[in-house]
């Protein structure tokens, strides 16, 4: 690492520093800190100028030194001394792009709407409505859905440790609690169409399904802000989709014990009002800087694209009837 002063691009006296130029010496004060340094009479104008520059701020180090040629050689050491006794801050404003969590969420919802409009042809939904989705595809959909539900508590869990306020802890704990045990619920539904518990446990998700889980789980650990921002994508009520799913299941003669639990699970999410969880959590965020906001936006867009890919992969992979519908590679 460089010397401390190197970190200050445009050094400036911190608020509260007072300066006085007396014959032969300059005196600086901040609280109980007092600093004085002597100079030759001929150097007085340069010293006064340097102090003015430091009081005003906004001048890069090189330019500051160039502005006082008479004492140029002495300036770096002097600034290092000022820095050491905590008289300097950086005057460069770092405020560009700062937003509140709630504002970032507004922008995210707009981005989500635009990305969805641009890339989202809900291929699976369309296949349901047009009566093209097959029995294998419907079961495949439930298998992939089950994988996410099964993984959910483990994905959400790490986020609990990052909750730093009582409110956030409450919200996240309630959310986690509301997700527990749903895998058993869906497992029973899948059993009615012949997916044994062993097959279900051995089932390997499609790449996009795993990508969704990995993203959520990794953001919960590595970038909680992204985790909070993407949750709404998983929890939005999709009544039209659930209706179409039920209709198609009935048309294909799949048992009600298969599709009703999926509907119940969707209703459960709607009841708990999960869809607002991102808003609630983001509103608890303080200020978000530009880079963090860019990272979150990138992650939201990618999550939507991956969700679209997941639907395409389900349709593609489960297109052909399979002897064992679950994806099991252990004998590969």
- Contacts with another protein by CB under 8 A lie at 111, 114-115, 154, 202, 204-205, 207-208, 210-211, 213-215, 217-218, 221-222, 291, 294, 297-299, 301-302, 305-306, 309, 328-330, 332
Nearest-approach distance from CB 48 to another protein, in angstroms: 39
Nearer residue to another protein within complex by CB, 115 or 149? 115
Nearest-approach distance from CB 110 to another protein, in angstroms: 9
326 with 202: CB under 8 angstroms? yes
Nearest-approach distance from CB 189 to another protein, in angstroms: 23
Nearer residue to another protein within complex by CB, 10 or 313? 313
Q: How far apart are CA 279 and CA 175, in angstroms?
A: 13
Alpha-carbon Rg for the chain, nearest whole angstrom, is 30
Nearest-approach distance from CB 209 to another protein, in angstroms: 9
Nearest-approach distance from CB 327 to another protein, in angstroms: 8
Nearer residue to another protein within complex by CB, 70 or 107? 107
Name all contacts of 266-270 with Cβ < 8 Å and 24+ positions apart.
266/237, 266/238, 266/239, 266/242, 268/178, 268/182, 269/235, 269/237, 270/237, 270/239
Q: How far apart are CA 324 and CA 46, in angstroms?
A: 85
Nearest-approach distance from CB 107 to another protein, in angstroms: 9
The residues, any chain, with a CB within 8 Å of residue 136's CB and separated by 6 or more, are 318, 319, 320, 321, 322, 325
- Of 124, 115, 130, 160, which Cα lies nearest the Cα of 144? 124
Nearer residue to another protein within complex by CB, 209 or 269? 209
Nearer residue to another protein within complex by CB, 166 or 323? 323
Nearest-approach distance from CB 8 to another protein, in angstroms: 22
Q: How far apart are CA 26 and CA 125, in angstroms?
A: 76
Nearer residue to another protein within complex by CB, 51 or 296? 296
Q: How far is CA 94 from CA 17, 49, 89, 231, 321, in A?
A: 21, 26, 12, 29, 58
Q: How far is CA 34 from CA 28, 85, 242, in A?
A: 6, 9, 72
Nearer residue to another protein within complex by CB, 54 or 220? 220
């Amino acid at each position: 690492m460089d010397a401390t002063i190197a970190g200050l691009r445009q050094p400036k006296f911190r608020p509260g520093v007072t300066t006085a130029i007396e014959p032969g010496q300059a005196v600086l004060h901040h609280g109980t800190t007092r600093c004085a340094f002597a100079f030759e009479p001929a150097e007085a104008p340069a010293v006064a100028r340097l102090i003015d520059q430091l009081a005003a701020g906004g001048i890069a180090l090189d330019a500051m030194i160039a502005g006082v040629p008479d004492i140029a050689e002495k300036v770096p050491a002097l600034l290092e001394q000022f820095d050491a006794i905590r008289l300097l801050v950086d005057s460069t404003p770092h405020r560009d792009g700062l937003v509140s969590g709630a504002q970032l969420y507004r922008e995210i919802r707009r981005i989500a709407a635009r990305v969805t409009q641009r890339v989202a042809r809900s291929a699976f939904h369309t296949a349901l409505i047009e009566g093209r989705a097959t029995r294998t595809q419907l079961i495949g959909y439930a298998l992939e859905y089950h994988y996410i539900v099964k993984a959910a508590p483990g994905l959400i869990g790490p986020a609990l440790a990052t909750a730093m306020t009582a409110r956030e802890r409450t919200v996240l704990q309630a959310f986690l609690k509301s997700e527990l045990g749903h895998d058993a619920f869906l497992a029973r539904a899948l059993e009615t169409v012949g997916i044994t518990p062993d097959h279900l446990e051995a089932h390997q998700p499609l790449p996009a399904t795993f990508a969704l889980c990995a993203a959520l789980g990794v953001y919960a650990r590595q970038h909680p802000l992204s985790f909070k921002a993407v949750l709404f994508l998983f929890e939005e009520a999709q009544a039209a989709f659930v209706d179409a799913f039920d209709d198609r299941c009935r048309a294909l003669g799949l048992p009600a014990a298969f599709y009703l639990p999926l509907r119940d699970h969707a209703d459960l999410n709607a009841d708990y009002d999960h869809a607002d969880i991102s808003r609630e959590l983001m509103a608890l965020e303080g200020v978000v800087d530009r880079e963090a906001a860019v990272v979150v936006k990138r992650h939201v867009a990618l999550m939507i694209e991956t969700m679209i890919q997941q639907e395409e992969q389900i349709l593609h992979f489960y297109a052909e009837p399979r002897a064992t519908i679950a994806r099991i590679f252990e004998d590969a």
